[in-house]
Amino acid sequence: MSQLILCACKKNIIVFEEKKTGTISSLFIEQYCRNQQQVVSRRKWSHEGFGAAFRMDMRPGMEFQEVNVMQSARITGITPVDGGDIIYSCAVGDSSGLFRCRPGDDIDNEGHVLHDRNVLFEGVTATPDGRMAFSIRNKNGECNIAVGKTGSSQYREVTEGDSIDRNPAWDPANPDLIYYDSASIGYENNGRPVIGPRAILKIELSKGEIEEILGDDNLDYFSPQADSDGNIWCIRRPYAKSKTPVMTFFDVLLVPVRIGKAVFHAIEFFTYRNTGETLTSAGPNPGKIRTAAPEDLFLEGVRIDSKKNLRENSRAGELIPGIISRSWELVRMDPNGDIVCVARGVCSFALTGRDSFVFSNGRYVCRSERGKVERIGECGPPCRIAVM
């Protein structure tokens, strides 16, 4: 059987096999969106029309609850498991979970692993013998690494504290070792959280010992993977320090204007909610609300200027230019601690062998073997790439 490359992109899984491309949809996401649509349809009639206006209970924007849910639906991780199956993590609305499927099977054959409404599951990875690791994000924004079995809904968290621990990866030579990236959470005097730079850590499960193996105050290191030669691969990018907002003299001059806008929009919203009409003919038209432009992309917590990056990558002479900045580097650290950059403009990757890997530049999925790069197919920015 030829190698399958799996790319989790928004709410679908793109499957690349030789020159063929397929798509796996999430049954859980589709069912959740259908249920949401039915809920909105049942309630919509009672909040529209003359009767609702008379009761001052107009809610003309209810249908956008459904739109928001569908737009936020996404697959947050993907991994191959034994028997040719796939386990993926996903989030939609207020629910998240892990589910199992098989490429080529009917979508109705999707299996349930676990799900919860109080946490977000992401970055799932598994070993051939059925050990599974993933990240759990709680409502406070903290993330912990958890481990379990692919055939069980039970799991245990192995990290804790004020930190964001994500993207676990098993060591192929040591079944007791997991690599992951972690960023500390600090707080300013006003209570505003500040996220520190991301570093690569490892945890020895049997002892619970955690050790930082790669970090820098000015750089983010994330999405680690280990190969059979003891090398650690990950993505490196400049650390964007949080800035405390400062009011400039120009901001002071604009205070009256901004207050006036706020008062006007508050009155307009009140009028629209109770009458269904706006104060001006150019008022908000839900049917004409524009979605974010392609250049307004957020990935791994930072804004991606797609057009600018694509232009700069093309000028740099890249044969397959993407939309990720060249400052996002795929690096490899050998057992001696020496680090080399093997690719630029990378947002996700998966190792396929010695000196070979597949990666995404935010626009295409590519394969690199011994320094030779070829394009496999087109795919938007994925949260994870996996290989079967």
Q: Which of 298, 215, 265 is nearest to 10 (CA)?
A: 298
- CA 277 from centre of chain: 38
Bridge partners of residue 5, in order along the sequence: 16, 387
What are the tens digits of pLDDT across the range 1-12?
468 899 988 888
Backbone angles phi, psi at 313, to 5 degrees: -65, -40
The two three-digit tokens of residue 256, written as one number? 């009256």
pLDDT of residue 66: 53
For the chain, list residues with pLDDT below 70.
1-2, 40-71, 105-108, 242-254, 257, 264-266, 268-296, 382-383
pLDDT of residue 263: 73
What are the tens digits of pLDDT across the range 44-94?
555 555 555 555 555 555 554 555 666 678 899 999 988 788 999 998 878
pTM, entire model: 0.80
Residue 188 burial (C-beta neighbours within 10 Å; 0-12, 13-18, 19+):
exposed
pLDDT of residue 323: 93
> CB 278: neighbour CB atoms within 10 A?
14
Residue pair 10/69 in contact by the 8 Å Cβ criterion = no
Residue type present at position 172: P
Which residue's entry shows tokens 């949401």?
A: 36
pLDDT of residue 290: 41
What are the tens digits of pLDDT across the range 327-350?
999 999 999 999 999 999 999 999
4-26+73-244+297-387 architecture in CATH?
6 Propeller (2.120)
pLDDT of residue 213: 95
